[in-house]
């Protein structure tokens, strides 16, 4: 195993972003930058040993900063926070005190606001252990950043081992009650980007989903049985999409309120033979099939576009602050936010 650190580019204010290249002994290479804690690429072999990048991302920092990319921003590969997913109308109330969050997705608040953790430069520390290589990323979000209360100290630890597991460990602590819901927003495409993801096969360990109207939960946990949202058995993503003109974008319930490490699901693609298994201590997983991913021109080549990647975002339920029957998203002083997600490549 090996880890290398290199320069990735300069931010407009002059700060230098770094790139960390993690390699194991099985031809898996993962690149992570401390800008946005972004996974920029994951290279894995197919069934014939051909190594390709299986996630949506860029080779240069400037592409992550471009107006074209940010104009229809798909959040490639980043850590999303302070609160991933949506908060209805940006209304946040904690112990009777109201905070109005940014409205940046229709009438709602999305992924931490106008400039979330996905666009911050994190402190970075290389990890080189006996059985894993990785990078420890840290960021302190000041009180009332994006109008969230509390000084929040966040740590994200990425590790790659020889079992072909990429683990993402999240920690957070606060000095005032606040909401925290962190996730990674990587989009997978197991064909190496040669085709879209509609023929990928997906299985989710979820018998229910958070029923939603206009992407905001109603509070009901609805059964997946006899709906297009039933992935309890392996099926192609597009098999039941006829009535879903924009594909899938919803949270599935993992029946994991105790925070155990459970298998959330798996994604596979027959032609390449690649498979990604997802394990998490989180209670939910957002399936987003990437309808709104923009087509971009990168170095003269057209790339990405609708359905060019599928995101499997382990998380707490969306808009949990407004529903007592959802797992709480509130973090109090003296408590530690502690979540783990593992992506295993086979």
Cα 302 to Cα 117: distance, rounded to the nearest angstrom = 28
> Quick check: is 93 catalytic?
no
For residue 291, the 8-state DSSP code is T
> Quick check: is 313 catalytic?
yes
Would you state the torsion angle of the CA atoms of residues 96, 99, 101, 106, taken in this order, to the nearest 10 degrees? 50
Among residues 43, 185, 269, 277, which one is catalytic? 185
Task: Decide if 262 contacts 278 (C-beta within 8 A).
Answer: no
Task: Decide if 161 contacts 183 (C-beta within 8 A).
Answer: no
- Ranges assigned E (strand) in 2-151: 2-10, 16-23, 29-33, 38-45, 51-53, 79-80, 86-87, 91-94, 97-100, 109-110, 123-128, 132-141
Among residues 43, 52, 269, 313, which one is catalytic? 313
15: exposed, middle or buried (Cβ count in 10 Å: 0-12, 13-18, 19+):
exposed
Point out the residues that are catalytic: 185, 313
């Amino acid at each position: 195993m090996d880890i290398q650190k290199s320069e990735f580019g300069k931010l407009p204010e002059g700060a230098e972003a770094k790139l960390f290249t993690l390699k194991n002994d099985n031809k898996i290479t993962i690149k992570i930058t401390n800008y946005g804690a972004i996974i920029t690429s994951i290279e894995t072999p197919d069934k014939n040993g051909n190594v390709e990048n299986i996630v949506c991302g860029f080779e240069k920092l400037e592409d992550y900063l471009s107006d074209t990319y940010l104009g229809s921003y798909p959040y490639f590969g980043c850590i999303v926070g302070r609160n991933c997913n949506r908060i209805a109308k940006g209304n946040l109330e904690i112990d009777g005190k109201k905070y109005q969050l940014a409205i940046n997705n229709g009438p709602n608040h999305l992924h931490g606001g106008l400039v979330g953790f996905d666009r911050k430069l994190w402190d970075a520390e290389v990890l080189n252990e006996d059985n894993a290589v990785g990078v420890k990323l840290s960021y302190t979000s000041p009180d009332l950043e994006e109008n969230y209360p509390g000084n929040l100290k966040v740590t994200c630890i990425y590790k790659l081992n020889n079992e072909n597991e990429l683990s993402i460990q999240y920690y957070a602590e606060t000095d005032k009650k606040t909401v925290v819901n962190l996730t990674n927003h990587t989009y997978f495409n197991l064909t190496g980007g040669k085709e879209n993801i509609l023929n990928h096969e997906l299985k989710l360990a979820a018998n229910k989903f958070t029923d939603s109207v206009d992407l905001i939960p109603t509070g009901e946990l609805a059964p997946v049985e006899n709906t297009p949202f039933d992935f309890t058995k392996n099926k192609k993503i597009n098999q039941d999409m006829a009535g879903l003109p924009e594909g899938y974008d919803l949270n599935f319930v993992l029946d994991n309120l105790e925070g155990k490490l459970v298998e959330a699901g798996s994604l596979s693609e027959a032609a390449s033979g690649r498979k990604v298994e997802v394990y998490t201590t989180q209670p939910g997983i957002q399936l987003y099939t990437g309808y709104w991913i923009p087509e971009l021109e990168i170095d003269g080549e057209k790339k990405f576009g609708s359905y060019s990647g599928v995101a499997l975002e382990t998380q707490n339920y969306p808009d949990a602050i407004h529903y007592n029957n959802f797992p709480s998203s509130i973090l109090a002083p003296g408590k530690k936010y502690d979540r783990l997600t593992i992506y295993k490549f086979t």
